[in-house]
Structure 1
Amino acid sequence: MAQDIASDFAAELVGANAVVSAPAPLLDAEARQLTFVGDTARFAEAFERASLAGAVVLAPLGTELPEGATGSLILVENPRAAFGQAVARHFAPKAAAGVADTARVHPTARVHESAHIGEYTVVREGAVIEAHAEVRDHVVIGRGVVIGEHSLVKSHAVIGEEGFGIEKDADGNNFHVPHIGSVRLGAHTEIGNFTTVCSGTIAPTVVGDYTKIDDHVHIAHNCRIGRNVIITACAEISGSVVIEDEVWIGPNASVIQGLTLGKDSLLGIGAVAVKSVPENEVRVGNPAKRLGDNKK
């Protein structure tokens, strides 16, 4: 019911308490479907059409139903965020707890009974999969890796295999430096498809709570990534980089080894960071240069 969704956000329901059948985009929403509008002026025509069709619309505080509307409004501060949370809570499929028949879990690994391990996934020695974590198909979880509670590791990700640390021996030949530090993912983290998070050399590579890492991202050894960070598709984070809380990294951006990206900083699409970035600074380009402040 629409009132149930409104109650989730302690929000006001304006109009009928309709049964909500499914989510839908604003342009396509019909009777009893849930949708949202963030800017009622910009999307006035689509908003009016959905309201007249009988949709349940998550809308900004203070929004009024158009005249003759048969739908209803749920008034919230951030309609897009509320829509995402409502879809996750009421409509998104939930992975069943348990380990798939084709998965291989080492006897010394610990998988919480509420966690999900997908088809053909490998969980190696000493790994820990915490409560309600979802590890999808064809994933490799390396030795000693910790996957925090309510985290999501999408298909074909590799977490905790060796990083690319190369030195020369006495004869001048390349050899691979062992990486035995593993990886620790915090709670509510997300690792995208085909993303790699490499083991630390001695101490673990760390990804903080609520950090979201997109598909096709590479996180090298010894990185320390804070809380609520967003790293988008195809970014490359070199070894021993420190990323503080609330940083946003754009698609195809690269960060050279050993740098620090300060809290609330932003690295733009395709940017190449060759120097550390101060807190709250926006940098773009190759090499990345200051554009301005992120948060005024």
Structure 2
Amino acid sequence: MELGMYNKIPLSEISSRFQAHLLGKDRLISKFGTLSSITNVPELQLSFVLNKKYLEDFNNSSIGACIVHKSLEEHCTKNKSYLLTSENPEHLFYTVFMHYYENGNFENLNTKQGSNNIIASSAIIHNSVVIGNECKIMDNVVVLPNTIIGDRVTIKPNTVIGGDGFQVKNINGRRKVLPHVGGVRIMDDVEIGSSVCIDKGLFGEFTTIHNETKIDNLVQIAHSVVIGKACTITAGSSIAGTVTIGNNVWLGVNCSINHLLSIGDFSLIGTGSVVIKSVSPHKKVFGSPAKTIGLICKCRGDIVSNENQLVCNKCGTHYLLIENQLIESK
């Protein structure tokens, strides 16, 4: 699920308005994003590239159009669409994005609320928020637009859901924190502690917390993060933008996850760890920078080598290591 613009905009309109030369097919644009942005409609996305390497990545992607410096025109292909510019493509991209944001072109959710919810009188629930059934929203919680809350969700005091992430860019000569046009989706049976901040997606995508994940106090979850089912995120953890966390993951106290990483199912991140590389499933990592110190079972027991076999020392489950991937042995 993602939010886009109310009306699709022809590239030719953007080209004319911002003095960029349209090369290739005139196509409709309904969303913005980088090459790493998550989207269900890449053919409707406008992106940007800064050098030949990323232009090749764009050419091999399913993204519809990008802004590129005119000096790279010879590396453009016939089946893609480009806006050629003599200025910095990134600056132009964010200038275009801000123009359509300031003119109110982006979608918002329709407000809706289910039954049997307990919402504190001091909580602030904005318009364009969807709340399911049997939720408990405590004192001084702020829920900002484009937030979807499932059933039986608990949100404890002073938490902020759906604020803008911290994306700083130079727009027309001034440094600005960019407005975010996506949302937050919190699935069923999630519990969120006190003074937690969960930022919405930047370009229309939803920061998503899946079923039965439990989040402790003082946790920061940045824009466009996806957290799987039944995860445990302990106090003080900080998760940077566009991180994907699998199912049944444990994040220890005060750990930090760098942006654009993936954390595999059943992995465990130790207290105070600084994760700067993606983590494979069932890995136990610790330190700054975090390094693998062992293997972890789905029951949270340690996987040890026993007579040339990998066995959980807690539940006795056997595993096989095939092409560096840990697979449960049936």
The aligned residue for residue 236 of structure 2 is 234
TM-score, length basis structure 2: 0.56
Amino acid at match of 1:252: N
Unaligned runs of 5+ in 2: 1-109, 298-302, 304-330
The alpha-carbon deviation at position 145 of structure 1 amounts to: 0.6
Choose which of 204, 217, 220 in structure 2 pairs with 1:218: 220
Amino acid at match of 2:225: C
Choose which of 118, 137, 148 in structure 2 pairs with 1:146: 148
The aligned residue for residue 164 of structure 2 is 162
TM-score, length basis structure 1: 0.62
- Give me the whole-angstrom Cα distance separating, in 2, the residues matched to 1:221 and 1:190: 19
| Alignment map for 1:29-44 (pairs within 5 Å) | none
The aligned residue for residue 185 of structure 1 is 186
SS at match of 2:163: coil
Amino acid at match of 2:130: V
The aligned residue for residue 199 of structure 2 is 198
Higher mean C-alpha displacement, 270-279 vs 173-182: 173-182
- Give me the whole-angstrom Cα distance separating, in 2, the residues matched to 1:109 and 1:170: 34
Amino acid at match of 2:230: N
The alpha-carbon deviation at position 170 of structure 1 amounts to: 4.2
The alpha-carbon deviation at position 113 of structure 1 amounts to: 2.2
Counterpart check, 1:251 vs 2:246? no
The aligned residue for residue 138 of structure 2 is 136
Q: Deviations over 1:80-128 (max 9, x none)?
A: xxxxxxxxxxxxxxxxxxxxxxxxxxxx632222111113111111101
The alpha-carbon deviation at position 167 of structure 1 amounts to: 0.9
| Alignment map for 1:19-168 (pairs within 5 Å) | 109-168=111-170
The aligned residue for residue 263 of structure 1 is 265
Higher relative CO (CA 8 A, sep ≥ 6), structure 1 or 2?
2
Q: Deviations over 1:150-200 (max 9, x none)?
A: 1100010000011111111242x3112221111000000011100000011
- Give me the whole-angstrom Cα distance separating, in 2, the residues matched to 1:109 and 1:116: 17
- Give me the whole-angstrom Cα distance separating, in 2, the residues matched to 1:140 and 1:180: 17
- Give me the whole-angstrom Cα distance separating, in 2, the residues matched to 1:115 and 1:161: 22
SS at match of 1:120: coil
SS at match of 2:128: coil
Amino acid at match of 1:174: R
> In percent, how many aligned pairs have the same letter?
32
SS at match of 2:185: strand
Unaligned runs of 5+ in 1: 1-107
8 Å CA contact 1:160, 1:197 repeated in 2? yes
Q: Deviations over 1:232-282 (max 9, x none)?
A: 000000000000001000000000101000011100000000000011000
8 Å CA contact 1:109, 1:123 repeated in 2? no
Moved over 3 A (4+): none
Amino acid at match of 1:123: I
- Give me the whole-angstrom Cα distance separating, in 1, the residues matched to 2:171 and 2:161: 28
- Give me the whole-angstrom Cα distance separating, in 2, the residues matched to 1:270 and 1:119: 36
Amino acid at match of 1:225: I
- Give me the whole-angstrom Cα distance separating, in 2, the residues matched to 1:198 and 1:170: 25
Higher strand proportion, which one?
2
